[in-house]
Amino acid sequence: MKNIITILFTLLVFNSNAMEKTVFDHSISLANGEALNLDKMKGKPILFVNIATRCGYTGQLDDIEKLYQKYKAKGFNVVGVPSNDFGSQTPEQGKDIVKFCRLKYGVSFPITKKVPVTGKSKHSLANYLVSISGGKEIGWNFEKFLFNGNGKFVSRFTSSENPVGGTLEKKVASLLN
């Protein structure tokens, strides 16, 4: 009987580990409607940032782009995920969000379609980001979620965390070394 229990427990642990999801198991579309192929980012760290165009933190787009430019040759990826959930601070749609980010802040990293990141209708990727990072709902624009090259969650950063020169940049650099 003890051997049967041990075997069942081993199978349960093996199956739960085999079924463990990573960020690569999720999908989201780019602002132009094309699917963002997260599989192409396998083996490289990814930073997901819920962005907005009319927020007090919107200026962080400049530093997020600087961080991306500094480390992209080493494989670092950034994905901007616009939302209108906080004070309706992203009134634009799709390509207009991208145009704003590119023209005003020089953003070159991918930007997804605008999606809900809170509430019952939040996008499945946002739901995953929240659940994998401890279950606390996204509280404002420009929260950041860092994953390693294997798609495993590394750390979550608040809106006030500056992308350059602090803990976030140090964690990115450590994932690339």
Residues in the chain: 177
Distance CA 138, CA 145 (A): 10
**What is the model's pLDDT at position 3?**
58
Active site (catalytic) residues: 55
Distance CA 53, CA 92 (A): 8
Distance CA 110, CA 78 (A): 7
**120-148: buried (b, 16+ CB within 10 Å) or exposed (e) per residue?**
eebbebbebbbebbeeeebebbbbbbbbb
Please tell me the least confidently modeled range out of 5-9, 82-86, 89-93, 106-110. Answer: 5-9
Q: 12-31, pLDDT tens digit by residue?
A: 444 444 456 889 999 999 99
Q: Where are the beta strands (DSSP E) in 45-137?
A: 46-51, 77-82
Domains and CATH numbers, the chain: 22-176 (3.40.30.10)
Q: 130-155, pLDDT tens digit by residue?
A: 999 999 999 999 999 999 999 999 99
